[in-house]
Amino acid sequence: DPSTWFPIFMDKNPHGGNTPYDFNIWDNQRSCRGLKLDIIDNLEPKWEKYFQRAVTEWENDDPSSEAPDALTLNVRKNIRYDPECRTVMRKMIVCNGDYGETDYIGINHVAIQFGYIISSVALLNDYFLENQSDALKQNTVCHELGHGFGLGHWDENFYNRDLGNCMDYTNSPKNNQSPDLSNFLFLEQMYGNTAGTSRYVEAGLNNTVEGLHCTPGSETVDFSEGTEIFKKRRLPGQPTITDDEFERIALLMSPGNNIIIADSSVKEHPLAREGWRYLKRTDKYEVHEQDLGDGLKIVSTIHLV
């Protein structure tokens, strides 16, 4: 049972499941040698120290670390700050700005095509974060980057024991500043590691099966009793998106859209817009989805004030 790998995960996760195989992931073109992702830094100087620390920690290329190295992150700094935070195909962009009294601290939008992430936008709202602590700013940047890689929440209870990683919601952000070993193990299950040595472990009733996630050139790895634990998922032929489709995605993911996001039938919601539906809602965060048809959709995870 894969759910026994990481007992801290919830039974229900806003990103779709509680095992690495249930999550939306970026198309892995590296034969399970980790995720290679370009990140566009569209942040003002006041955010740089938080962003650089978060990127360094998520990349985890310290050879002495016990955590697997599952990410290779290439950061490109925008020469000029773009207040529109333009979505970029097959990249993540991280932006800050005064997005107004919209009830959110941070948002991550992911555009998804046939189950694969094709673009991500992380927004940091200075309206609420400007005068907050360094701890909350660091936690928020780390958290929104994690969503951009495809991760969900580790725990959604703000009042229980802190888990010590930034994907865990907390009322004490100083305790959850960085990713931890469990985050990297989960990413390894999703993407493999940069050395190509990532392994799964499945505990059965009578035995334990262990092996490589996948081998170069193979599409699947099948195991005893016909159980397929890992399938290297890939978009067939890199489907294209028309200019009009991408423009629609970019508009829906832009801060100028004021993040919309709630089903229009929920009349009391201040940001209600037609076409969006709730996936999950609590007093501290919301997850929304808009299905654009033809295999395209946007999932937005909103960290509320």
pLDDT digits (tens, 9 = 90+) for 7-20: 333 333 433 344 44
- Beta carbons of 187 and 35 less than 8 angstroms apart: yes
Distance CA 304, CA 152 (A): 16
Instruction: Kindly tell me if the per-residue pLDDT of 143 is higher than 70.
Output: yes
- Give the pLDDT score at 231: 40
Within 10 Å of residue 256's Cβ, how many Cβ atoms? Answer: 11
Instruction: Kindly tell me if the per-residue pLDDT of 166 is higher than 90.
Output: yes
- Give the pLDDT score at 56: 96
**142-166: average pLDDT:** 87
- Give the pLDDT score at 133: 96
The per-residue pLDDT of the chain, averaged, comes to 76
Please, what's the b/e burial string for 123-153 (b: 16 or more CB within 10 A of its CB; e: otherwise)? Answer: bbbbebbeeeeeebbbbbbbbbbbbbbbbbb
How do residues 259-276 score in pLDDT, each as one tens digit?
Answer: 544 433 444 554 445 677
Instruction: Kindly tell me if the per-residue pLDDT of 250 is higher than 70.
Output: yes
How do residues 26-58 score in pLDDT, each as one tens digit?
Answer: 876 656 788 999 999 999 999 999 999 999 999
Instruction: Kindly tell me if the per-residue pLDDT of 204 is higher than 90.
Output: no
How do residues 80-95 score in pLDDT, each as one tens digit?
Answer: 999 999 999 999 999 9
What percentage of the chain carries pLDDT values higher than 90? 37
Within 10 Å of residue 97's Cβ, how many Cβ atoms? Answer: 20
Beta bridge partners of 299: 110, 289
Output the pTM of the full model: 0.80
89-103, 169-183, 238-252: the lowest-pLDDT one: 238-252
Instruction: Kindly tell me if the per-residue pLDDT of 200 is higher than 80.
Output: no
Q: Higher pLDDT residue, 213 or 52?
A: 52
